A and B are shown apart, each in its own frame.
Chain A
């Protein structure tokens, strides 16, 4: 099965810095989702994007649904230590009544003081 390309794979930043990551696909999606996963836990939904060009914020997080519907971007402003974790993008393509997700490979974020 397809996995989306996410970059960067990992990043070390200092507290207070802004962070940007992106996700690209060879196929289009109806919806883009961004999840954060803490070690040993299940992913938690951060932001959902529903139409091309949409820009949505959730606190210090801002995500965009690319115009081509094949990519998405996530920005975190003024990072703090609890931002540490793995961030996954996911493209959603509705098939029947189930929402199948295709996940990215993840961006591991580490924040230093």
Chain B
């Protein structure tokens, strides 16, 4: 089955530690995205990547970093510089050059920083 996987589902970290969230897709999509969701709010874009070895900042990139070394993978690192990292993180992918196809989401990772 094609899809997007995120692991782990739940993640706990101590304050001041960096943590990396995994996102893998086997949909052969060129573009991948990371969103953050807080209670009662919509999704906010952190970073996105249109192609391997290239990525762009979204609306709330401060305190986060990404890499795109492989088409299938787009890991997100939440650094200690992120002031309020506890949130639900969602990864998505889409077909580049195909406007209007929408984005397909993974199941999410809930990060709690203690």
Contacts and interface: CB of A to CB of B under 8 A. Distances in A.
A97 B107 contact: no
26 contacts: A1-B44, A1-B58, A1-B59, A33-B102, A41-B108, A42-B92, A42-B108, A43-B90, A45-B103, A90-B102, A94-B99, A97-B31, A98-B56, A98-B96, A99-B31, A99-B94, A99-B96, A99-B103, A101-B33, A101-B102, A101-B103, A103-B35, A103-B42, A103-B44, A104-B42, A106-B41
Interface of A: prevailing SS: strand
A59 interface: no
Contacts of B43: 43, 88, 101, 103
Sorting the interface of chain B by its residue count into under 10, 10 to 19, 20 to 34 or 35 or more gives 35 or more
Nearest to B44: A1
Interface of B: 4, 6, 30-31, 33, 35, 40-45, 48, 50-51, 56, 58-60, 88, 90, 92, 94, 96-108, 110
